[in-house]
Amino acid sequence: MKSVKHYIRTIVDFPHEGIMFRDVTTLFADPRGFRMAIDQMLHPYAGMQIDKVVGLEARGFILGGAIAHQLTVGFVPIRKKGKLPGAVISEAYTLEYGEAVMEMHDDAIQPGEKILVVDDLLATGGTAAAGIKLIERLGGEIVSTSFIIDLPELGGRKVLEDMGMDVHVLCEFEGA
């Protein structure tokens, strides 16, 4: 039987030379692979109280929507700056070259709600850490974080664990 990792293709030198891009669109396109990924991302949380799933832009929206549907809970997107209408809260974080800003509606999460954070890839942890800070500013209690892929050499798991987060991943790839 194939594992989730077998459905993910690697594209060499994208978006820059020396990068091994881990492309989950091939996983999403295969009904068995996609179902397997969603089921495996859900499994650790069976029987736990989760009030909302938060997905990080952009592939986290695909995963988060499917997981929220399976759990029969609400879904909240965390987006790049300027993409959400209405009142938002913002969190800046550093990238390899520069800075980015993530935003969430200021009424998306109520204090005390139990939150599961999902995305496709954990690299340096910057995007996830910014999302976690936004959720915590609104009083959300993060149950766990869940990713399809971890790139251990980039240290994102340690960043999130140092923030007190539980981190669940389905597979790892070496290299950047």
pLDDT score of 95: 78
Bridge partners of residue 142, in order along the sequence: 115
Distance, in Å, from the CA atom of 55 to the CA atom of 30, rounded to the nearest integer, reads 21
Pick the CATH number of 37-172 from 2.20.25.240, 3.40.50.620, 3.40.50.2300, 3.40.50.2020: 3.40.50.2020
Domain boundaries, the chain: 37-172
**Cα–chain center distance at 5:** 17
Residue 30 to residues 6, 26, 50, 71, 145, Cα–Cα distance (Å): 11, 7, 27, 22, 24
pLDDT score of 72: 97
Cis peptide before 108 (omega within 30 of 0): no
Tell me the average pLDDT of the chain.
96
Give the number of other CB atoms < 10 A from CB of residue 173: 16
Model-wide pTM > 0.85: yes
Angle at 151 between CA 147 and CA 155, to 5 degrees: 100
pLDDT score of 176: 64
- 8-28 pLDDT, tens digit per residue, is 999 999 998 989 999 999 999
- Return the SS3 of 175: coil
Distant-in-sequence, close-in-space partners of 16: CB < 8 Å, separation ≥ 6: none
Return the active site residues. Answer: 59, 96
- 97-150 pLDDT, tens digit per residue, is 779 999 999 999 999 999 999 999 999 999 999 999 999 999 999 999 999 999
Distance, in Å, from the CA atom of 28 to the CA atom of 58, rounded to the nearest integer, reads 13
pLDDT score of 98: 79
- 37-78 pLDDT, tens digit per residue, is 999 999 999 999 999 999 999 999 999 999 999 999 999 999
Q: Identify the band that residue 175 occupies on the pLDDT scale cut at 50, 70 and 90.
A: confident
- Counting every residue written for the chain, the total comes to 176
